[in-house]
A and B are shown apart, each in its own frame.
Chain A
Amino acid sequence: MTEIFGIPIQAFLGQLLLGLVNGSFYALLSLGLAVIFGLLGIINFTHGALYMIGAYIAWLSLEKLGLNYWWALLVAPLVVGALGIAIERGLLRVLYKLDPLYGLLLTFGLALIFEGVFRDQFGVSGQQYQVPALLRGSTDLGFMTLPNYRAWVVVASLAVCLGTWFLIEKTSLGATLRAGTENPRLVQGFGINVPMMITLTYAAGAGLAALAGVLAAPVIQITPLMGSNLIIVVFAVVVIGGMGSILGSIVTGLVLGMVEGLTKVFYPEASNIVVFVIMAVVLMFRPAGLFGKEA
């Protein structure tokens, strides 16, 4: 059996593939964050909580309404998007005139509140969510057995990421969006409703978080803590990729997922912190992030 860096090549490839799966998760989550920050300048700490709420909506809609996974993929982003509209209209809008720090504190506080409410209701041991029937089972790839559901996660995440990137960077809607956030007065002068655009962008970011939550539900325990466990890593991903860059966060998410996966093989105790070590290094040499534009 051939070995690479001391472990059999089969195991190595398997870990790389798993890293890709996790990376596509990071990419999807950091996408929503990058959209909100890149376009609106809001550091959205609520992102992890919205991801968690998305997963809970998937579980609740199955338990109480009998809606299956495929419906949840549609319903959860819509519901959380509506929640996002409420948050932006009701709370964030008030703080735009002030220091951006206030927005950060507000979103952080909201995250704690959401987490607390769900923890009070559901406890922390978590809920079970079954993999949808269509995606059950696994495929033997030779070097490892990959559960079909994980393959679906990669495909779905990448499709959504690329679709969003295309929408923002290559379409006229995206162009309007980017213009509206760079120079709202001018764009408003053209008759475009900039405040509504901003609200809908925040809602879209929230919807992306919820979508990631639904994708995650069958894989990890649905607990109130699932968001806070992940959100710090996602922030690091966005910072490394460049806070304003959509493509940056997608690419970085994938690469870091793989780096983390390999760390789990060679030095698992460090797998929690490797992303932050990379972040520290990147910030030292390129403060704007790998793909970011210098402010």
Chain B
Amino acid sequence: MNKISKTTTARALALSALLGVAGAAQAQISGNVIRIGIITDMSSVYADIDGPGAVEAMRMAVDEVGGAVNGKKIEILSADHQNKADVAATKAREWFDQQGLDMLIGGTNSGTGLSMATVAAEKKKPFLVVGAATSALTGAQCTPYTVHWAYDTVALAKGTGNAVVKAGGKTWFFLTADYAFGSALQADTTAVLTAAGGTVVGSVRHPLGASDFSSYMLQAQSSKAQILGLANASGDTINSIKAAKEFGVTKTMKLAGLLVFINDIHSLGLDTTQNMYLTDSWYWNRDAEARAWARKFFDKMKRMPSSLQAADYSATKQYLAAVKATGTDDADKVLAYLHKAKINDVFAKGGYIRPDGRMVHDMYLMQVKAPAESTEPWDYYKVVDTFKGESAWTSKAETKCPLWK
């Protein structure tokens, strides 16, 4: 070990002091680049509903402002968390510490959403979570830096849960994905349906990404419930529905897909899924503006965007607008601006962010069309009901978030 001479030490200290001062002067846009990143499932069960399509959606938002804000370039980072909470947290930490990340968008999988929210709060950077569903993000685990953009398990429960009970489905059996998201969805839906007069007669948990659901179908059938509630998503939901059809479960029970994306319907086909109720935050065929944006997305990705991908676009766009308006990418200033702003874009109309971090906007109860009603590929839904503003989400009386009391 060499001894460092006093001169070198003095020089080093002087240099760092200078850099420190220089750094402070540049604090307007840190590092002269606006860096936004997304960590999501790029290759596994949730890759189609978010994944590479999310990066494309973000790119569309960046291109719209010409790739720069106030002359500072925008850079997009993306990474695959492989549905592992520790991988997500480590990546987020690395980006915040070493890559100068200014804003993180949270992808699918609630376990990773929660772990990244903790990291973002520690680093005091904005975390706009789009893909993860658990209501805990704006509930017991809310932070001043988390904004839950698209949807959550409470909205899904209130939407689909209520609709199915009203249509006569009083007794439920849950098939639940065994991790944060599944438990949250089952818990929130149970609360909603018991309040509406229904009962839960049984439930079973399956591992995330299970390939065979035949055993669970048998258990569901022997429960004699009217409704089979699917508290899982994407690949798991698709396999559950397939198995339900194969084992004749659909003859004696109705399926309630508590989280269904348009990609799942596309994969299963309208024959299998027609008349199913689902709650979602956005539909590409909702209005002319959505259609136009969706077609641009389709040209690049060869499939219609899911609600998550539209929300990724919206979150990016609104963040960049906030950076432009405040002239800085300082987290607290940008978040303060966002909390006061009205969110109006292709994803949400008249949206706003609550003190608990929830971005409040309309949710839609939709029903899957019958094959005869569908006029073109991806034309799968009809909007049955709209939950305006606050009615879809956790209310102030129910909230567990200490920031909103």
A125 contacts chain B at the CB level, 8 A cutoff: yes
Compute how far the CA of A21 lies from the CA of B62 in the bound complex, rounded to whole angstroms: 51
- The residue on B at minimum CB distance from A127 is B267
Task: Spot the interface stretch: B215-223, B314-322, B366-374.
Answer: B215-223
Chain B 52-69 per-residue mask, 1 if CB under 8 angstroms from chain A, else 0 = 000000000000000000
What A residues does B246 contact at CB under 8 A?
131, 138, 147, 149, 219
What A residues does B219 contact at CB under 8 A?
11, 265
Give chain B nearest CB distance to A25 CB in angstroms: 9
Contacting residues of chain A (58-73) with chain B, CB-CB under 8 angstroms: none
A264 contacts chain B at the CB level, 8 A cutoff: yes
A22 contacts chain B at the CB level, 8 A cutoff: yes
- The residue on A at minimum CB distance from B207 is A272
Interface size classification for chain B: 35 or more
Q: Quick check: A223 and B235 within 8 Å, CB to CB?
A: yes
User: Of A126, A145, A150, which contacts B267 at CB under 8 A?
Assistant: A126
Give chain A nearest CB distance to B73 CB in angstroms: 28
Q: Quick check: B267 and A220 within 8 Å, CB to CB?
A: no
Contacting residues of chain B (205-246) with chain A, CB-CB under 8 angstroms: 205-207, 209-212, 214-216, 218-219, 222, 234-235, 238-239, 242, 246
- The residue on A at minimum CB distance from B45 is A124
- The residue on B at minimum CB distance from A222 is B267
What B residues does A230 contact at CB under 8 A?
211
Give chain B nearest CB distance to A21 CB in angstroms: 7
B70 contacts chain A at the CB level, 8 A cutoff: no
B178 contacts chain A at the CB level, 8 A cutoff: yes
Of B44, B212, B238, B269, the most chain A CB neighbours within 10 A belong to: B212
Q: Quick check: B268 and A22 within 8 Å, CB to CB?
A: no
A226 contacts chain B at the CB level, 8 A cutoff: yes
Total contacts A-B at CB 8 Å: 96
A229 contacts chain B at the CB level, 8 A cutoff: yes
Q: Quick check: B247 and A145 within 8 Å, CB to CB?
A: yes
Q: Quick check: A125 and B267 within 8 Å, CB to CB?
A: yes
- The residue on A at minimum CB distance from B178 is A269
What B residues does A125 contact at CB under 8 A?
48, 234-235, 238, 263-264, 266-267
Q: Quick check: A221 and B239 within 8 Å, CB to CB?
A: yes
B327 contacts chain A at the CB level, 8 A cutoff: no
Chain B 265-302 per-residue mask, 1 if CB under 8 angstroms from chain A, else 0 = 01111000000000000000000000000000000000
Q: Quick check: A119 and B267 within 8 Å, CB to CB?
A: no
What A residues does B400 contact at CB under 8 A?
none
Compute how far the CA of A147 lies from the CA of B235 in the bound complex, rounded to whole angstroms: 22
- The residue on B at minimum CB distance from A126 is B267
Q: Quick check: A22 and B239 within 8 Å, CB to CB?
A: no
Give chain B nearest CB distance to A20 CB in angstroms: 11
Q: Quick check: A126 and B238 within 8 Å, CB to CB?
A: yes
Q: Quick check: B247 and A147 within 8 Å, CB to CB?
A: yes
B384 contacts chain A at the CB level, 8 A cutoff: no
Contacting residues of chain A (281-295) with chain B, CB-CB under 8 angstroms: none
Chain A 35-72 per-residue mask, 1 if CB under 8 angstroms from chain B, else 0 = 00000000000000000000000000000000000000
Q: Using a CB–CB distance below 8 Å, which chain B residues touch chain A?
A: 43-45, 47-48, 51, 178, 204-207, 209-212, 214-216, 218-219, 222, 234-235, 238-239, 242, 246-248, 263-264, 266-269, 303
Beyond the given A19-B215, A126-B235, could you list 18 further A-B residue pairs with CB under 8 A, ordered by the A residue number?
A11-B222, A15-B218, A119-B47, A124-B45, A126-B238, A128-B269, A138-B246, A219-B242, A220-B212, A220-B242, A221-B238, A226-B211, A264-B216, A265-B215, A268-B204, A268-B206, A268-B215, A269-B205
Give 14 A-B contacts (CB < 8 Å), ordered by A residue.
A19-B215, A119-B47, A123-B47, A123-B263, A124-B45, A124-B48, A125-B238, A126-B267, A138-B246, A147-B246, A149-B246, A219-B212, A223-B235, A269-B205
